[in-house]
Amino acid sequence: MDHFVWNIDPVLISFMGLKVHWYGALFATAIACGFQVMKRIYIKEKLPVESLDNLLMYCVIGIIVGARLAHCIFYDPAYYFSNPLKIFAIWEGGLASHGGGLGAILALYYYRRKMDMPFLFLLDRLAIATAIFGFFVRMANFMNSEILGLPSSVPWAIVFERIDMLPRHPAQLYEAIAYLLIFIGLWAIYKYTEMKQKEGAIFGLFLVLVFSSRFAIEFVKVKQAAYAEGMTLSAGQWLSVPFLIVGVVLLVMPYLNKRAKV
């Protein structure tokens, strides 16, 4: 069976020695789209739109620092503990979404203290923007031929020629599609239902959907942490479990509290 061969140059534009990579362009697009989603929400709810510049700055810093530290600590600790200066070499690659998520939450908490706004209220809304952010980041991984799937003979398997000639699960596309669908679903819930009135529920649903998707897709991904080779579950799956638990708690608590009041 002939499989689709993927061999795109990771450099989008090269001009007079200046190179713009697909990853950087799509990461910037992810930030811009997330910002626009938050702007629409702020306008709809008559919140101070001018404060979004600070939120953007805090979240970008939180995501990058958190994602980098999580990658170094959880995916290749032996290398980075032996070469601590390499932790700062972000241009060499290595960002972990779990750490990026934690970094964004901490950044939002700092922003919330300055704005004196309910933390869960903000998390519910940022979750919607984060879902579309995740879509573009996984598309960037696809353009870079990274975060590979396991070899497979399924008809839609893709050969990542820059890596090898084996047809593989396009795990990056699986996640990208999942995050896009989650974004559409969360946006519809926010716009057309009363769930946004139950603080923490949308964020809880986001965690459940994102990390259950991540947990399932990890079964067809190449394990990124060397120490996880002999383990049944990957490092990404183990790191997803706490987020799933927190998500379930946040999702059900508003409804339990309402029932208790009745």
Query: What residue numbers does the annotated binding site cover?
Result: 138
Give burial (CB, 10 Å; 0-12/13-18/19+) of 24: middle
Q: Which two tokens stand for residue 137?
A: 């980041």
- End-to-end C-alpha distance for the chain, whole angstroms: 61
Decide: helix, strand or coil at residue 233: coil
Residues 6+ apart with CB under 8 A from 91: none
How many angstroms from the chain centroid is the CA of residue 112? 21
Closest residue by Cα to residue 211 from 235, 184, 231, 241: 241
Going by DSSP bridges, is the β-strand pair 18-21/4-6 parallel, antiparallel, or unpaired? Answer: unpaired
Q: Which helix (H) or strand (E) is 10 found in, with range? A: none
Cα four-point dihedral sign 62, 198, 250, 247: negative
Decide: helix, strand or coil at residue 152: coil
Decide: helix, strand or coil at residue 76: coil
Closest residue by Cα to residue 207 from 254, 240, 255, 172: 240
